[in-house]
Chain A
Amino acid sequence: MSRWHKKGLLVVTILLISFLAGCAYKSVDKRSFVVSVGVDPAENDDDRYKVTLKIAKPIASLRQATETEYTYLTTEAETVSEAIRILETHNDKVVDFSQAKILAIHHELLSGDLQLLMDYFTRRGDIQLIMYVAAAKPSAEEVLKVEPILEAAGENTLYNFFDDTGTESPFVTTSFLFEFRRDVLTFGKDAVLPIVRTSKNKDELVINTALVIKENHEPVDLNRTQTKLYNTFMEGANGYGYQAHNSGYIFTLTFDRAKMNYKLGIVPGQTPQADIKVKAVGAISQSNKTLSLNRLPEYSEVTNKELSKEMEKLFKKMQKEKVDPFGFGLRYRATRFHTDQIEEDWNEIYPDLVFNVQSDVKLKSLGAIK
């Protein structure tokens, strides 16, 4: 570069600096960070949704703060986005969704039109798709307003429940926003959402059941055992809490690894079959009788019978309720070339599907005593 070029460049650079009037980003103290969003049906007849935003209050330092401080904004409107627009006028700071990680939806809203409800959250690019979605009982507002006693400063209890860094219980279903959207929109697989309930005196959150969601269909409740089985074999959850009552034994088991494989045997003219193989490796963590090490295979067998029975019960219940959280329909579509009537075919096959559950539990240890 010659001297002229350099001088020219310098002038251009100086001119450009004068355009830099400020940062495009609004600084942190001008933002209010939404940590959770709750949607309830409106109480007012003119409106449709009641939206609650849980906003974290800024604290100077974690050491000074004794407990977390949140504030709540609530309003009602015809749509979710309108409600959020209104809430922006209740607040002097920019409402920032980049930290929003919980979407709690009132359980009754999940049977209605999901498109209008969910559209805003998936359409906005700055709302993360790895947000956790949960069904709330008795209402989203009440669930969000619970501030459990064990919650430390700067913490959010619901995050710890779902993100696998705190508690890892097989009773807690985790459902991300993208997963929920995907499964609701997929023919042949239905979404499962955890139900978050408040305890009686509203100072605790309880998550141990789930809800199967299908569009334009009543949500189907999963009880505690069913939720646990679903989480273990579909989501890869494991840990304590498996019960086996059989042949006079009462066991509590811990699973280290668990998985499920299935094959569909569907031949025209024959009864459609689903051959399901359930595998788990674990240990006994409680028993009502004295046990002996050389009889471990027998204990495994006792567990197998129990587990097969429970799984079959769960599959049959889902079949009866016409929902499919295990994705048998999707597997059907994934194993044959597409035709135009494949979806109708599956709707005819599913009610007749016979489940052959074969469980293979390998108990490896009795713990510390016999």
Chain B
Amino acid sequence: MNRFLYYLVFLNMMAIITTPIPSLLLIGAHGGAIPTMVLGLFTGMLISFFFLKFFNKFPGRDYTELLKAYTSNYLRVPVTIYFAIVWYLAGTITLVMLTFLLITFLTPEMSIYLIAISILITVAFGVLLKSKSVLFAVEIIVFLVVPIAFFLFIKLYSSSELDWDQVRTSLMYSNSVPKYGVFTATLFSFSGIANLIVFNRYFTKRNTNHLGAVLIIGLFGVFTLVTTYFIPIGLNGFDQVDRLIFPWTSAADSVRMKYGIVERAVFLFMLFFVAISFMSITVHWHVSYKLIQSLIRIDKLQMRNNNWTPFLTVAVFVAVAIYLTVWLTQYQLYTYSAYYFNAIPIFIIVWAVTMFAVKRGHDNEPLA
């Protein structure tokens, strides 16, 4: 099952392009974004290493199970709720951003409700799948999307209008002080590995080559960060790059396929990123849903052999998401998601504390 780990990490990194992260990175372009991204890259790799090492100790067991076995309810319940919210919001940010993208570039006349609902119907089905099926779906999407992504990236990098002097100018700002907002946004792009808290159930084999895995993850990270950061600068210019609200879509809109079936590469880009972000929302929400399932099971919703709690959970997910999509303005989306990313270190601390608790519990009574 090892390859699925890379799919999860890769998916999350690709999906950052449809979150506010590119523009949060580019806001720091005139002050220390580059050193911060390097710092974030190493921190992200370090955290990935600890995640891998921890879960490798418990092959085939997910996090909720471990919490149940080795910690008290006073720790387990609040932590699970907190994690569920964190994962739910990660999916929701992508959803709102995707809706905004579609309404700005693809279907300006369509109602926002209709766009959100048409995304959510598919996502809701995905969330209710078995964890294993979600992993398979991720694999299919990665395999369908990688050729298009590869083609698009070659198009972008080989575009004759890409101005490398703009890119070099941006490098000349790397002597500035790192920025916290950029740092946390970079960390988030490495968070795909955290999905292990649910999917570790299917990673039953022990793997000892953590360093190799972390190195591959680091390479993915370098490639995504370089692409997300420098392509918009090279195509849309460095001096006012922080004024772009969708830097990546604008970059993709600046590339032309002279003899292509469609001339505007942005449509290919849309196809690609809609698929990626669908899958990313599904994975995030699925994790959140599984965490909630480990806490709540309402007996009143029992009908014959079936319990309808999962449907209720997903219905709540969908309702809250629609409300947020309609209510949020662009400004709020960017400000609140910046708050969300800035709170990621809290998540890492909480996770580290529970990790130590589980480890100590395990050392005291290894058979529980």
Name A residues whose Cβ lies closer than 8 Å to a Cβ of B: 2, 4-5, 16, 24-26, 94, 125-126, 128-130, 163-165, 176, 178-179, 181-183, 185-187, 189, 236, 327, 330-331, 333-338
C-alpha spacing A2/B304, complex, angstroms: 10
How many of chain B's residues have a CB under 8 angstroms from any CB in A?
Answer: 43
- Max chain B Cβ within 10 angstroms of own Cβ: one of A26, A126, A236, A336: A126
> Would you call B240 an interface residue if the criterion is a C-beta within 8 Å of the partner chain's C-beta atoms?
yes
CB distance from B303 to the nearest CB of A (A): 6
Offer 9 A-B interface pairs, CB within 8 angstroms, sorted by A.
A4-B303, A126-B108, A129-B253, A181-B236, A182-B236, A186-B166, A331-B165, A337-B175, A338-B176
Let me know if A130 and B264 touch, CB within 8 A.
Answer: yes
Q: Which of A24, A236, A327 contacts B114 (CB 8 A)?
A: A24
Q: Which residues of chain B in 95-116 are interfacial with respect to chain A, using CB atoms and an 8 Å cutoff? A: 104-105, 107-111, 114
* Residue interface mask B168-208, A partner, CB < 8 A = 1: 11011101100000000000000000000000000000000
Let me know if A130 and B263 touch, CB within 8 A.
Answer: yes
Let me know if B304 and A125 touch, CB within 8 A.
Answer: no
Let me know if B236 and A178 touch, CB within 8 A.
Answer: yes
Let me know if B264 and A338 touch, CB within 8 A.
Answer: no
What chain B residues lie within 8 Å of A187 (beta carbons)?
239
> Would you call B255 an interface residue if the criterion is a C-beta within 8 Å of the partner chain's C-beta atoms?
yes
What chain B residues lie within 8 Å of A26 (beta carbons)?
109
> Would you call B342 an interface residue if the criterion is a C-beta within 8 Å of the partner chain's C-beta atoms?
no
What chain A residues lie within 8 Å of B171 (beta carbons)?
334
C-alpha spacing A181/B254, complex, angstroms: 11
- What's the count of A-B pairs with C-beta under 8 Å? 96
CB distance from B31 to the nearest CB of A (A): 10
Q: Which residues of chain B in 38-59 are interfacial with respect to chain A, using CB atoms and an 8 Å cutoff? A: none
Cβ-closest chain B residue relative to A127 = B253
What chain A residues lie within 8 Å of B258 (beta carbons)?
163-165
Let me know if A186 and B237 touch, CB within 8 A.
Answer: yes
Let me know if B166 and A126 touch, CB within 8 A.
Answer: no
> Would you call B364 an interface residue if the criterion is a C-beta within 8 Å of the partner chain's C-beta atoms?
no
Name B residues whose Cβ lies closer than 8 Å to a Cβ of A: 104-105, 107-111, 114, 121, 160-161, 163, 165-166, 168-169, 171-173, 175-176, 235-240, 246, 249-250, 253-256, 258-259, 263-264, 266, 303-306
C-alpha spacing A236/B161, complex, angstroms: 11
Let me know if B306 and A5 touch, CB within 8 A.
Answer: yes
CB distance from B187 to the nearest CB of A (A): 26
Say whether, besides A2-B304, A2-B306, A130-B264, A337 and B172 are in contact (CB < 8 Å).
Answer: yes
What chain B residues lie within 8 Å of A16 (beta carbons)?
121
Let me know if A236 and B160 touch, CB within 8 A.
Answer: yes
C-alpha spacing A335/B175, complex, angstroms: 13
CB distance from A305 to the nearest CB of B (A): 29
Cβ-closest chain A residue relative to B176 = A338
Top-9 shortest CB links A-B: A182-B237, A334-B168, A125-B104, A24-B110, A178-B254, A129-B253, A125-B105, A334-B169, A185-B240
Let me know if B253 and A130 touch, CB within 8 A.
Answer: yes
What chain B residues lie within 8 Å of A336 (beta carbons)?
172
Let me know if B256 and A338 touch, CB within 8 A.
Answer: no
Say whether, besides A128-B264, A130-B264, A185-B239, A178 and B172 are in contact (CB < 8 Å).
Answer: no
What chain A residues lie within 8 Å of B168 (beta carbons)?
334-335
Q: Which of B121, B255, B259 contacts A165 (CB 8 A)?
A: B259
C-alpha spacing A298/B323, complex, angstroms: 76
Let me know if A186 and B254 touch, CB within 8 A.
Answer: no
Cβ-closest chain B residue relative to A101 = B263
C-alpha spacing A128/B107, complex, angstroms: 14
Say whether, besides A24-B111, A182-B236, A176 and B161 are in contact (CB < 8 Å).
Answer: yes
C-alpha spacing A182/B172, complex, angstroms: 18
C-alpha spacing A294/B176, complex, angstroms: 58
Let me know if A4 and B304 touch, CB within 8 A.
Answer: yes
Cβ-closest chain B residue relative to A174 = B161
Let me know if A25 and B107 touch, CB within 8 A.
Answer: yes
Let me know if A182 and B107 touch, CB within 8 A.
Answer: no
Cβ-closest chain A residue relative to B171 = A334
Cβ-closest chain A residue relative to B101 = A125
Let me know if A176 and B169 touch, CB within 8 A.
Answer: no
What chain B residues lie within 8 Å of A2 (beta carbons)?
304-306
C-alpha spacing A135/B255, complex, angstroms: 22
Let me know if B107 and A178 touch, CB within 8 A.
Answer: no
